Amino acid sequence: MNSAGDLRSTLQSRGLDVVYQPIINLHTGKIVGMEALARWTTPSGAAVSPDVFIPMAEESGLIGELGSQILTMAVRDAASWQSIAPVTVRINVSAQEVRSRSFYDDAMRTIDEVGLDAALLGLELPESTLQDQDEDTQDTLRQLHAAGVSLMLDDRGGGYTSLSCLESLPVADKLKIDRSLMTDDDPEGVAVVASVIALGRSFGLSVCAEGVENAIQHARVFGQGCDFAQGYYFARPTSRELVPQMLAAWATFLPV
């Protein structure tokens, strides 16, 4: 069983990796972004789920270092892709990271070092970021937004809790619908997705659906007015080495 000590050793040796899943503009069919997804493979070759090591990092105080390494890798990769296609790279950040007073400075320093346009960096914020916001957190979010960084609220609460808090995050410009709401045959789930899209748009937010797995779900979220989507229907997460090939060969998604 992997421990926080194992994770600390992995971070010290820069042993984490990142894979990328494309984000599709449903109106144009084009790839407009890549979500960076952290991956941990142990020396024995075993893959550790992010559902395991991300909470472990938060509980052990390692989330700052983990997030910093993922941000650095993703920003460097994004900068290397710009000659092929100016896609945004999106990174998940925890509430703990955003509450750190150094988060803004560290993020902007990383962007400046590689020469990436800040507008091509997007941060996905969990709804817990909205809970007990202090002034430092609010200042950090305002500074990031003013610098051009895109802020997306990741609706991990299933369509209800985070939406009631949207007014607490006026600098957000996007809302992500959790994959748990993607369904083929649950009328309640379908209705919740429609309401999330409608309410998000009423706040002036563009909406992205994750976990789109098939043509039915694709057609539904498009018909409900969703702006962006990602999921296995479009592409599985891929290595950084294959992203340039994907961007060059697949300028427009053609459903099969």
**Is 82 a member of any domain?**
yes
> What pLDDT does 254 receive?
46
Look up the domain containing 205 and give its range.
4-246
The CATH number of residue 83's host domain is: 3.20.20.450
For the chain, how big is the Rg over CA atoms in Å?
18
- Rounded distance between C-alpha atoms, residue 164 and residue 132, angstroms: 14
Q: How many domains are contained in the chain? A: 1
How is residue 251 written in tokens? 């300028």
> What pLDDT does 250 receive?
72
**Is 253 a member of any domain?**
no
> What pLDDT does 130 receive?
63
- Rounded distance between C-alpha atoms, residue 173 and residue 181, angstroms: 21
**Is 227 a member of any domain?**
yes
- Rounded distance between C-alpha atoms, residue 10 and residue 101, angstroms: 25
Phi, psi dihedrals of residue 4, rounded to the nearest 5°: -60, -30
Q: Is 63 helix (H, G, I), strand (E, B) or coil?
A: helix
The single residue listed with the structure tokens 């910093």 is 68
**Is 255 a member of any domain?**
no
> What pLDDT does 171 receive?
77
- Rounded distance between C-alpha atoms, residue 39 and residue 17, angstroms: 5
**Is 36 a member of any domain?**
yes
**Is 178 a member of any domain?**
yes
**Is 104 a member of any domain?**
yes
> What pLDDT does 167 receive?
67
Per residue of the chain (256 residues), give pLDDT as tens. 678 899 999 999 999 999 999 999 999 889 999 999 999 999 888 999 999 999 999 999 999 999 999 999 999 999 999 988 889 999 999 988 998 889 999 999 999 999 999 999 999 988 766 665 678 888 899 999 999 999 998 865 555 545 556 666 667 889 998 888 888 778 888 888 888 888 888 888 899 999 999 999 999 999 999 999 999 999 999 999 999 999 988 755 544 3
**Is 256 a member of any domain?**
no
